[in-house]
Structure 1
Amino acid sequence: MNQTAHSVKQVPASSTVTFRSRPWAATLILAGGLTALLFGIALSVSFGAADIKFSVVWEAIFRFNPDLTQHQIIQELRLPRVLAGAMVGACFAVAGAIMQGMTRNPLADSGLLGLNAGSGFMLAVCFAFFPGLSFNYLILYSFLGAGIGAGLVYGIGSIAKGGMTPVRLVLAGAALSALLSALSEGIALYFRIGQDLAFWYAGGVAGVKWFQLKIMAPWVAAAIIGAIMLSRSITMLSLGEDMAKGLGQRTNLVKLAGTIIVLVLAGTAVSVVGVVGFVGLIIPHLTRYLVGVDYRWIIPCSAVLGSLLVVFADLGARMVNPPYETPIGAIIALLGVPFFLYLARKERREL
């Protein structure tokens, strides 16, 4: 292994490396996933306390009549909600893919490594000490909270005897997430802002407005475009830091750029949907299984599949116990917890 790594270091930066990938599968996923996503959006918009026909949905989108109640329901309530779900799913999935690629940690996820809890804690601080803060500032504080959470988790994980391992990082993330959640609840009780934080604790896209989408859309678009531009470098990092350096990659710069993108994606998603986990754990693994190890395909496919998961999870949240809504985080956890236990058991066997 050392001989292989040493030989890789001698490879010129201009050398071409071919990564194992399945472009045909990725193309099929992108085409089929986008089609399914459009269908899911239409289904989600039409389904609710008042079922609305597809034809009415079409008219409300392209020939909006403010005098019609159903058109107002679609434009003001359901359409922003489902579009927010699609963006949030893409955010969590791409953030998870980048984290897993850069750290080579199969258990990496913004929820498991403290980013979501850090963002939630900063939101609690904002509601308690800066009431009435605009959504622009909430997003910025959410970025800051995600950074604090990630920094504390990696700091705690690195001081353990034997250094950082995937399982230790997840344990540190779980402990810190519990601490930050407890602090958030304490702040909520003391300052009597539990009602304001209830939405972020449960996790959901109900109540999202167009102005929130307009603010978050540029952040999400810029971060995903940046992730795609960084995808080849992330692929090299996923094969080992020595190999990446041998191929001419400036690994520290790549890690810094990737970390910033992850913080933007996780912070933006949490500021809108709340603390929802496991999307960034499940989707990148599924995508790698389908398309291979090339992140030039993994990142866009993860964005599509992540959007698909959250849109249909939100639809399921409304179908479980109508007319009441089940928290979307609970729906996704039904898939995420067994998957996490499977990965943790597999990782333990490989240690």
Structure 2
Amino acid sequence: MTTATITPGSPAHTLQRTRLVRLGWLAVALGVLAVLCVASLAFGARDVSWDEIVGGLSGSTSGIGESAVVKRVPRTVLAIIVGAALALAGASIQAVTRNPLADPGILGVSSGAALAVVIGIAFAGLSEPYTMVAVAILGAAVASAGVYTVGSLGRGGATPLKLTLAGAATSAALSSLVTAILLPRVDVLTLYQFWQIGGVGGADWGRIGVVAPILALGAVLCLISSRGMTVLALGDDLAAGLGERVGRTRLVGAIGAILLCGTATAVAGPIGFVGLVVPHVCRLIVGTDYRWLLPFSAIGGAALLVAADVLGRVIARPEEIQVGIITAVIGAPFFIWIVRRQRVREL
């Protein structure tokens, strides 16, 4: 019986080394996320000690610090799942559209979800969490279809530039409609002004329980399409020649992204640029294989949103800056850099 050996420098050795490097980076990313989660529990309007963190996690509410930790736990969990959802949605949209500028916010998907929620609240009095999530997903789907249809018009089909312009115009129009609906309704405007900015400050276990199964379904749809997303980068003709069902991969990936974006928007408001910044950074670390890129993007998105939430609580104490503002400050210069430094025809 012979034992196969891997020769240094061979393709198998290179593949094994690349896998080990990626696993190392995965461990680093998880470690960074864990540290940020501890920081999220420790810092806020009132800083708490390690003993108070341990006491709060064990269920104790005997002191002010322990009570603060108990309240911050669902907020941290919501930041993790929303950040992961937005990053996964962004990476998936970039894959199915072959557009490096794709992002749920830039392409108008988040604005479509936000408009649908506001219409439901203002005109139908929606208040049930499941109904709001369903309406947000419907709005995200309609906005996505509209942007893709407009971006596909003319010669060349749905190019990255046309999709970006169509998305930017759609996002601006839908945001204006949201403002027009809310301005005459002071009660609704006051209640949802922070939701419009995007934040995780109102987290509770009830809301998390509502959105977690839907986000899990969207994540599964994106992850099972990861191999097909990698092949799509070669072009539709070559992907089809390799046996990939291009239409099915795009449809499943798009449905997953819409579920993720619509649900995240319903629970936390329209938070921009997470789906743009995180996949690009992760691509520099693990490459363009979506079987690795999607999990890394999820961890990176969770870390970014937790970090933004902690930063927003620390720099303006005792007040807070919503995470939507922090991510916009980070993401806007990054978006400009991508436009100026990269050729954006296709991935």
- TM-score under structure 1 length normalisation: 0.89
1:151 lines up with 2:145 in the alignment:
yes
Residue 290 and residue 87 in structure 1: after superposition, are their counterparts in 2 closer, same or farther (change >3 A)? same
1:200, distance to aligned residue in structure 2 (A): 2.0
- Structure 1 residues 138-177: aligned runs within 5 Å: 138-160=132-154, 162-177=156-171
* Cα deviations by residue, 1:22-42 (Å, 9 ceiling, x for unpaired): 323321222111111111111
1:305 lines up with 2:333 in the alignment:
no
Partner of 2:22: 26
- Choose which of 3, 27, 44 in structure 1 pairs with 2:40: 44
* Cα deviations by residue, 1:244-277 (Å, 9 ceiling, x for unpaired): 1111111111111111100011011111221111
Q: Secondary structure at the match of 2:54?
A: helix
| Maintained 8 Å contact 2:160/2:344 | no
**Sequence identity percentage:** 37
Partner of 1:194: 189
Q: Write the letter of the residue equivalent to 1:96.
A: G
For the residues of structure 1 that align with 2:158 and 2:252, how far apart are their CA atoms? 21
Partner of 1:84: 78
Q: Write the letter of the residue equivalent to 1:144.
A: L
Partner of 2:99: 105
Partner of 1:217: 212
1:19, distance to aligned residue in structure 2 (A): 9.4
Structure 2 alignment gaps of length 5 or more: 1-13
For the residues of structure 2 that align with 1:103 and 1:22, how far apart are their CA atoms? 27
1:20, distance to aligned residue in structure 2 (A): 12
1:71, distance to aligned residue in structure 2 (A): 2.9
Residue 21 and residue 238 in structure 1: after superposition, are their counterparts in 2 closer, same or farther (change >3 A)? farther
Partner of 1:15: none
For the residues of structure 1 that align with 2:322 and 2:66, how far apart are their CA atoms? 26
Q: Write the letter of the residue equivalent to 1:142.
A: A
1:278 lines up with 2:273 in the alignment:
yes
Partner of 2:179: 185
- TM-score under structure 2 length normalisation: 0.90
- Structure 1 residues 306-321: aligned runs within 5 Å: 306-321=301-316
* Cα deviations by residue, 1:295-324 (Å, 9 ceiling, x for unpaired): 110000110111111100111111222111
Partner of 2:53: 57
| Maintained 8 Å contact 1:90/1:306 | yes
1:160, distance to aligned residue in structure 2 (A): 4.2
| Maintained 8 Å contact 2:221/2:255 | no
Q: Write the letter of the residue equivalent to 1:223.
A: G
1:111, distance to aligned residue in structure 2 (A): 0.7
- Choose which of 324, 327, 334 in structure 1 pairs with 2:322: 327
| Maintained 8 Å contact 1:235/1:293 | yes
Aligned residue pair count: 332
1:190, distance to aligned residue in structure 2 (A): 2.5
Structure 1 alignment gaps of length 5 or more: 1-17
For the residues of structure 1 that align with 2:345 and 2:248, how far apart are their CA atoms? 30
Q: Write the letter of the residue equivalent to 2:54.
A: W
Residue 185 and residue 20 in structure 1: after superposition, are their counterparts in 2 closer, same or farther (change >3 A)? farther
For the residues of structure 2 that align with 1:96 and 1:19, how far apart are their CA atoms? 27
Aligned-residue CA RMSD (Å): 2.1
